[in-house]
Amino acid sequence: MMKPEANNYTVNNGRATKIREIETLEGVPILVELAERGDRAGAVIIDVIILFLGMIVTMLGVGLLLGSFDFGGAALIAIMLIFFFFRNFYFMFFELRWQGRTPGKKKLGIRVIDRFGKPLTSQAIFARNMVREIEIFIPMLILLSGSGVGAADGLMRFFAFVWAAILVCLPMFNRDNLRAGDLIAGTIVIKEPKITLLEDVSQKAPKTADTQASPYIFTAKQLGIYGVYELQTLEELMRDDTNTNAEKRLAAGRAIIKKIKWSDTVNNSEMDAFLSAFYAALRKHLEGGLLMGKRKENKFEK
């Protein structure tokens, strides 16, 4: 879950960035950088442009298929239904397929995650994107419609504008830049970290008989559960080998033991050695995958 007491600002390349600490289901705290409002707005603009280009191409296709662009009756109903599915399922499709990213988000290096440390579920993606219909598209359709006349129509347009303005500006009035869909779905949009394999911390340890002949042997199935992201999270824990960080390392070790279904008993005094062995094995496993052109960024990828 997100810990409010860990919320802070840092200065990165001359700009202030919002950092949040999220505790995963394994009990491992990770720091994430919130996506800036400008990046989120830019991603939406890119996605909306792609969306409307797709709608235009679809409309042209229907016109060519019918041999006429004078739409009416059944053709108009079909186009309206196609537009409805386009604008509602475009975001859902890509966020499901690309793990919280759309083409716009991918271009600007941001992604959606669960703000309580759980996997991003299809239910959360569905909820956050269905809200977009009442956030943006319905008010937009009311504002652009020209069928109504008189005071009632003007009042409806005014309320649609106010409604859209409040919801669109909502991220400016909360510290986590959450839109209405995020509040309902329990999601948050973050800067996507640059994932690389860093210097092997196990190489810094002195070569002793204990480290050369590790009693912990892991199977490919056990190592295949985690990805580069978890490797780096584990590395950050191991780099801070102070007693104040011991509880976090112990919690992480217990979570890994449970996740990989490790059958042997690992005492608290042996946990650092277990984590070191698991880190070395996981790093070797992932590096081997990279050499074969396979990259597993995190544990949620198949």
The C-alpha atoms of residue 131 and residue 50 are separated, in whole angstroms, by 20
The C-alpha atoms of residue 300 and residue 59 are separated, in whole angstroms, by 37
**Do residues 49 and 181 share a domain?**
yes
**Do residues 130 and 212 share a domain?**
no
pLDDT (tens digit per residue) in 288-300 = 654 334 445 555 5
**Do residues 130 and 28 share a domain?**
yes
For the chain, how many structural domains are there in total? 2
**Do residues 7 and 130 share a domain?**
yes
The verdict on residue 299 lying in a domain is: no
Range list of H helices, the chain: 37-66, 74-97, 103-108, 122-132, 138-144, 150-169, 180-185, 209-212, 220-223, 228-239, 246-260, 271-291
**Do residues 176 and 229 share a domain?**
no
The C-alpha atoms of residue 102 and residue 112 are separated, in whole angstroms, by 9
**Do residues 129 and 228 share a domain?**
no
pLDDT (tens digit per residue) in 136-188 = 777 777 766 655 555 566 777 777 778 777 877 888 888 888 888 899 999 99
- Is the per-residue pLDDT at 218 higher than 80? yes
**Do residues 176 and 239 share a domain?**
no
**Do residues 178 and 231 share a domain?**
no
The verdict on residue 156 lying in a domain is: no
**Do residues 46 and 17 share a domain?**
yes
**Do residues 29 and 127 share a domain?**
yes
**Do residues 212 and 70 share a domain?**
no
| Confidence at residue 61, expressed as pLDDT on a 0 to 100 scale | 78
Q: Which residue has the tokens 């709608």?
A: 55
The verdict on residue 39 lying in a domain is: yes
**Do residues 124 and 230 share a domain?**
no
- Is the per-residue pLDDT at 35 higher than 70? yes
The verdict on residue 153 lying in a domain is: no
**Domain coverage including residue 282:** 201-291
The verdict on residue 76 lying in a domain is: yes
pLDDT (tens digit per residue) in 65-75 = 766 666 566 66
Q: Which two tokens stand for residue 73?
A: 């009756």
